[in-house]
Each structure stands twice: as C-alpha cells, then as structure tokens.
Amino acid sequence: MRCRLTHLGSVLLALLSAPAAFAQYAEAEVKAAFIFNVAKFAEWPAELLPAGAPLRLCVLGTPGGSGTLGTALLELEGKTLQGRKLEVRSGTTLPLLRPCHLLVLMPDAPEPRRALAEAQGALTFGDSDGFIDAGGIIGIAVAERRVRFDVNLEAARRGGIRLSAQLLRLARQVKGQ
C-alpha cells in the first residue's frame, strides 16, 4: 500500500510540476488526468460507495466539443479507478445524474451553488474563482502552465469523503485544516 501511495504521489506531482505536459497535451486533457489522479487519493464511506459498485463521474453543464474538459472527461468512461469501473455521465441537471461520486462543474453549470449544496457525498471539482469558498472541494487553477489546486477540507468532511494527507501536502491552499 505504501509503495502504491508513493507511486501515485509521484504521478500527481509530475502532473502538478511538469510544464512540459502542456506542450504535449491540451489543457483540457491535463485537467482531466488531474481529476482522475486526484480521485485516487479519496475514500468514500461504504454507504455511499458499496463494495463492487462502479465509481460515477458526473459532468454538470455542457461538455462542449473536441478539445474541451467535458469531452476529455467523457473519454475516461470504462477506465478503472480504485479497482472500480468508472462511469461518466453528463447533463445539465444534477438530479438526473445522481448518484455522483465525482462531480465536475463546467463553467456553464446551472446554479452552481445549489449544485454544490446538493452534491453531498461527491468529490467536487471546479475551476471558477471562489470555487472552494462556495462549498466546492477541489478548486483547479492553471498558472504558469502548471496545474495548481486548493482544497476545502471542511466540505470534504461534510460529504463523508476522506482525502489523503499526501494529497493535502501538494495543495496550494487547504481550507479548514
């Protein structure tokens, strides 16, 4: 287990610190890979994610066309994450997407604050200013061709989600620590 966490940490660190990743891949693909890898550092309670159940990633808002984050996330369908099959759903209303274990709010997501309030038990991601202050869990930012992120630990705890200390050490800011 320790070896696995070390490997995961090095993968995540590479995504965070390698500007060369942007030279080879589009920003949307790098963000999608970041979301996928961050999810490896999260644990959900058994009542939210029973043994053998797939992980569901929900994209709230319009996924967009080729080269967008929404499209890059949809391409993760069927991948294995934490030994579980990943299901990816997209839509413009959260009730039709539920249950969600990972929730990515697109820039055009309708009523983002309401969606965050209703997303209990979901590890939420967004890249809007003030995302973690609005109740989101992982706020993503790209600065100087590097992915940076902030964590709202209070929101994660309220949702019953545990985030590894290794992930928290890599965050730019941890709210509620």
| pLDDT over threshold 60, residue 23 | no
Phi, psi of 113 (to 5 degrees): -65, -40
Tally of structural domains, the chain = 1
pLDDT at 1: 46
Of 83-87, 92-96, 104-108, 165-169, the poorest mean pLDDT is in 92-96
pLDDT at 6: 47
Residue 133 sits in a domain whose CATH number is 3.40.50.2300
More confident: 137 or 17: 137
| pLDDT over threshold 50, residue 21 | no
pLDDT at 19: 52
pLDDT at 5: 44
**Residue 153 to residue 77: CA distance in whole angstroms:** 27
pLDDT-derived band at 149 (thresholds 50, 70, 90) equals very high
| pLDDT over threshold 70, residue 144 | yes
What rounded mean pLDDT belongs to the chain? 88
Q: What is the DSSP string of 95-119?
A: HHH-S-SEEEE-TT-SSHHHHHHH-
User: Is residue 109 within 8 Å of residue 61, measured between CB atoms?
Assistant: yes
**Averaged pLDDT, 55-62:** 95
**Residue 69 to residue 98: CA distance in whole angstroms:** 20
pLDDT at 2: 47
**Averaged pLDDT, 107-127:** 93
| Residue 12 domain boundaries | 2-175
More confident: 120 or 104: 104
pLDDT at 12: 52
